[in-house]
Structure 1
Amino acid sequence: MDIDSLIAFVAVAETASFSLAGERLHLTQPAVSKRIGALEARLGARLFDRIGRRVLITEAGRTLLPRARRILAELDDCRRALDNLSGAIAGPLVLATSHHIGLHRLPPILRRFAVRHPQVRLDMRFMDSEVACAQVLHGEVELAIVTLPDVPPAALTLTPLWRDVLVLVTDHVHPLAKQRRVSPQQLMGYPAILPGAGTFTRRLIDRLFEPLGLEPPVAFSTNYLETIKMMVSVGMGWSLLPQIMVDGSLAALELAGGCPDRRLGVVTHARQTPSNAARAMLELLACEAPGDGVAAPWRGY
Structure 2
Amino acid sequence: MDYHLLTFVTVVEKQNFTRAAEALHITQSAVTLSIKSLEKKYNAKFLDRTNKYVRLTNAGEILYKHAKKILTQYEQVERLIENTTDVVSGPLIIGSSYTFGEYLLPRYIADFINENKLVNPKITIRNSNTIVSQLLRGELNIGIVDGMIESHPNLSSTPFAKDEMVVIVDKDHPLARYEEVDLEDLYEETWIIREEGSGSRQTIDQLFNKFAFSPPVVRSFGSTQIIKESVEAGLGISIVSKFAIQKETCMQTIIPLKIKNTSIIRTFSYVVPKTKFRARSVDLFLKKLKDNKIIKKEIIYN
How far does residue 200 in structure 1 lie from its aligned partner after superposition?
2.6
Q: In proportion to residue count, which structure has more helix?
A: 2
Higher mean C-alpha displacement, 236-245 vs 199-208: 199-208
Q: How far, CA to CA, are the matches of 1:257 and 1:17 in structure 2?
A: 57
1:123 partnered with 2:121: yes
Task: Give SS of 1:230's match.
Answer: helix
TM-superposed CA distance for 1:85, in Å, is: 1.2
**Which residue identity lines up with residue 103 of structure 2 in the other structure?**
H
- Per-residue CA distance 1:157-191 (angstroms, 9 max, x = gap): 2232211111111113224435642325x434222
Q: How many residues align?
A: 292
Mark the runs of 5 or more structure 1 residues left unpaired by the alignment: 297-301
Tell me the equivalent position of 1:147.
146
**Pairs within 5 Å for 1:268-283:** 268-271=272-275, 273-283=277-287
Alignment of 1:1-301 (within 5 A): 3-14=2-13, 16=15, 18=17, 21=20, 25=24, 31-50=30-49, 53-98=52-97, 100-120=99-119, 122-130=120-128, 131-151=130-150, 153-178=152-177, 180-184=180-184, 186-210=185-209, 212=212, 214=214, 217-219=217-219, 221-223=221-223, 225-246=224-245, 247=249, 248-255=252-259, 258=262, 260-271=264-275, 273-289=277-293, 292=296
Q: For the Cα contact (< 8 Å) 1:148–1:267, is it kept in 2?
A: no
Offset of residue 43 of structure 1 = 1.0
CA 1:15–1:201: 2 relative to 1, 3 Å: farther
Look up the equivalent residue of 1:3 and give its one-letter code.
D
Cα distance in structure 2, aligned partners of 1:19 and 1:139: 27
1:240 Cα deviation after fit: 0.7
- Shift of the 149–4 alpha-carbon distance from structure 1 to 2, 3 Å rule, reads farther
User: 1:299 corresponds to which residue?
Assistant: none
Query: Any idea what SS the aligned residue of 1:292 has?
Result: helix
Separation of aligned partners in 2, 1:144 and 1:192:
29
1:80–1:275: 8 Å Cα contact kept in structure 2? Answer: yes
Cα distance, 1:242 vs. partner?
0.3
Range with greater deviation from structure 2 (267-276 or 49-58): 49-58
- Partner SS state of residue 36, structure 1: helix
Relative to structure 1, the CA distance from residue 36 to residue 189 in structure 2 (aligned partners, 3 Å threshold; closer, same or farther) is farther
Distance 2:29 2:62 in 1: 24
Q: TM-score, normalised by structure 2?
A: 0.80
Partner SS, residue 81 of structure 1:
helix
Change (3 A) 1:192 1:114: same
Change (3 A) 1:82 1:294: closer
Identity %, equivalent residues: 26
Shift of 1:238: 0.4
Change (3 A) 1:198 1:284: closer
**Contact 2:188–2:215 at 8 Å: present in 1 too?**
no
Q: Structure 1, residues 31-72: CA drift from partner, whole Å, max 9, x if none?
A: 444422321221111122236634332221233333323322
Change (3 A) 1:251 1:277: same
Shift of 1:20: 5.8
Deviation at 1:89, TM superposition (A): 1.6
Instruction: For 2:174 and 2:217, locate their aligned partners in 1 and report how far apart those are by CA, in whole Å.
Output: 16
* Unaligned runs of at least 5 residues, structure 2: none
